[in-house]
Homo-oligomer: A and B are copies of this chain.
């Protein structure tokens, strides 16, 4: 019936040494004789003592805790980020406080308060949109480093790690061009998406770079509802029958485009004809899921470096905590683990 938690004092008493000694063997600092160390370790074992980190860190000024604010863990991009962060942080023998802020600034501010009160050493924010000046100056004042792990270029004045959407779109477009396509459309995504804007930038500039004109009618937005996508793509292919390739904004779009084209009587191929169907239109999509599940439908995918964004953000926050005191950086991650099916 151990009602009270066993403390370092209990151990010291039981082992017949001082608390300082116990503390020293615990941290491996100071020169403790093997004999004493053994004795202490034995009683620690016997009593089932576990060191209280909170108390330990209360003395110093570090907590070894990193705060993480994620809008919504349910979204694949964010869960990947969180996964990357937690994995790296734990490897450093630190630990992460997870908070979810949803879509509201107010809720974000509450998360922030929480994390600061709990004395985190640094904060990783999974979205730039809440990092307004007030927040930043508050953070600066309390000397807590922040880094932003985002989908797109959502903020400035802080370290930000994000996918290189422009480059990804460039690679995608280039891939299609090099496979002989000249009429390439961009399909899907909502018009207020920053990620999409960046991708469209890459798409357009690549077309231009290759001397291909682009037409704004070839850029079609859509929500992710399968039915809408199917309808839009069907109509589109009818209107622009010369378009021979489509860059799809995400997995849902790619799948919708696939089904729509199929329905319309098109046949689909990957750019290189590895397909159950004959070539007629090429599909290339950005994959935000990263699952293998869909990799065998005849669509090439470029995968987002989502988890890597988390990992790099974690690396960066550790650097900042260790006093790496340079101006804020933007780190663009290539769709590095992209699997262009070929």
Give chain A's interface residues, CB within 8 Å of chain B: 2, 5, 48, 50-55, 57-58, 61, 63, 65, 68, 72-74, 76, 79-80, 82-83, 86-87, 90, 95-100, 111, 113-114, 116-119, 138, 141-143, 224-227, 230, 251-252, 255-256, 259, 262-263, 276, 290-297, 307
Contact = CB atoms under 8 A, between A and B. Distances in A.
Nearest to A258: B259
B95 A96 contact: no
A216 B320 CA distance: 59
Contacts of A5: 61, 142
Contacts of A68: 98
B86 A100 contact: yes
B259 A54 contact: no
A54 B58 contact: yes
Contact of A57 (B54, B230, B251, B263): B54
B96 A224 contact: no
A97 B98 contact: yes
Chain copies in the assembled complex: 2
A206 to B, nearest CB: 27
A90 B114 contact: yes
A226 B294 CA distance: 6
Contact of A296 (B51, B72, B80, B226): B226
Nearest to A79: B79
A2 B73 contact: no
Given A54-B57, A96-B97, 5 more contacts: A48-B142, A65-B118, A73-B83, A82-B82, A90-B114
Contacts of A117: 50-53
Nearest to A277: B263
